[in-house]
């Protein structure tokens, strides 16, 4: 199979790598992969020299061991039940991290210490989006690392947009301290990083009065602040007479 002049590719099935290995994809800029499990057969290395955006949804990260994307700018990984993600992701980032500006991780089984190690490999990161697996908690370890006055050199110095989703196990105060350290006017006139412009939280907890006051102050001073609370599901009666629990949904919190 010869494929040329493509800029966007969304292959399906278990023959994805066969397609990539046997195709001329030098111009490919966007690649979206969705796999039900490991790819069968022997995998050969694939270099995508102009790929700018890669999205992967799979429970196995083995394919990352065979991909090189030297000009990648946006990486999105949705990896439920993947327990080898660090083993594959670290070498992949060493080959692809220089240009990476946006990282999205969903359902990733990565501890905060390991996440900090990965972020240290991404000096040009401007957008970070983390939506944790149901049994993975966001802790103070991450917040301290993101605090510009407590971590030298500054982690992710070019970060401008931060989105967090999941169970906040760390303290709200530590989270706000880290955010304020990246915003002008909070006794940090000599910031060693770019200003954080936007935050978005989908956190499984009720924001305290003090936290809301500090977030509103950031919003009033110009930061783009977007908060969501999880509305619990409700028991509703089926047409057959039984009951079912509706899915929970996220509701935006008014900044006031």
Whether pLDDT at 8 is above 60: no
Average pLDDT, the chain: 79
Question: Quick one: residue 107, left, alpha or beta (phi over 0 = left, psi -120 to 50 = alpha)?
Answer: left
Rounded to whole angstroms, the Cα distance separating 73 from 51 reads: 8
| Model confidence pLDDT, tens digit, residues 67-79 | 889 999 999 998 8
% of the chain at pLDDT higher than 70: 70
pLDDT of residue 236: 56
Q: Which residues are CB-neighbours of 168 under 8 A, at least 6 positions away?
A: 137, 138, 175, 203, 204, 205
Mean pLDDT of 1-9: 43
Q: Which residues are CB-neighbours of 15 under 8 A, at least 6 positions away?
A: none
| Model confidence pLDDT, tens digit, residues 173-213 | 999 999 999 997 765 556 678 999 999 988 777 678 898 89
* Higher pLDDT among residues 222 and 63, named by residue: 222
pLDDT of residue 83: 67
* Higher pLDDT among residues 227 and 102, named by residue: 102
| Domains with residue ranges and CATH for the chain | 8-253 (3.80.10)
| Model confidence pLDDT, tens digit, residues 100-152 | 999 999 888 788 899 999 999 999 999 999 987 655 678 889 999 999 877 67
pLDDT band at residue 16 using 50, 70 and 90 as cut-offs: low
Whether pLDDT at 216 is above 50: yes
Q: Where are the beta strands (DSSP E) in 107-185?
A: 127-131, 137-138, 161-168
Least confident among 31-45, 67-81, 167-181, 227-241: 227-241
Q: What is the value of pTM for the model shown?
A: 0.82
* Higher pLDDT among residues 6 and 106, named by residue: 106
pLDDT band at residue 242 using 50, 70 and 90 as cut-offs: low
CA 134 remoteness from chain centre: 15
Whether pLDDT at 245 is above 50: no
Q: Where are the beta strands (DSSP E) in the chain?
A: 8-9, 30-34, 46-47, 53-57, 67-68, 74-78, 102-106, 127-131, 137-138, 161-168, 198-203, 224-231, 235-237, 243-245, 249-253
Q: Which residues are CB-neighbours of 10 under 8 A, at least 6 positions away?
A: 31, 32
pLDDT of residue 20: 64
């Amino acid at each position: 199979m010869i494929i040329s002049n493509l800029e966007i590719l969304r292959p399906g099935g278990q023959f994805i790598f066969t397609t990539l290995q046997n195709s001329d994809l030098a111009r490919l800029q966007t690649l979206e992969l969705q796999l039900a499990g490991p790819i069968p057969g022997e995998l050969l290395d694939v270099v995508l020299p102009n790929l700018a955006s890669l999205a992967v949804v799979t429970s196995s990260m083995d394919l990352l061991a065979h991909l090189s994307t030297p000009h990648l700018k946006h990486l999105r990984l949705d990896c439920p039940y993947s327990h080898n993600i660090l083993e594959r992701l670290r070498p992949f980032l060493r080959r692809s991290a220089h240009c990476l500006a946006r990282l999205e991780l969903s359902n990733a089984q990565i501890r905060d210490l390991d996440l900090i190690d990965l972020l240290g490999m991404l000096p040009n990161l401007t957008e970070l989006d983390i939506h944790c697996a149901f049994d993975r908690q966001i802790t103070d370890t991450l917040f301290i690392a993101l605090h510009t006055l407590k971590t030298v050199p500054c982690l992710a110095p070019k970060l401008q947009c931060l989105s967090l989703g999941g169970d906040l196990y760390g303290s709200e105060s530590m989270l706000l301290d880290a955010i304020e350290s990246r915003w002008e006017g909070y006794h940090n006139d000599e910031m060693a990083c770019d200003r954080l412009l936007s935050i978005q939280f989908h956190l499984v907890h009720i924001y305290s009065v003090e936290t809301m006051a500090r977030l509103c102050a950031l919003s009033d001073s110009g930061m783009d602040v977007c908060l969501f609370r999880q509305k619990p599901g409700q028991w509703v009666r089926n047409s057959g007479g039984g009951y079912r629990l509706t899915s929970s949904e996220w509701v935006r919190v008014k900044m006031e």
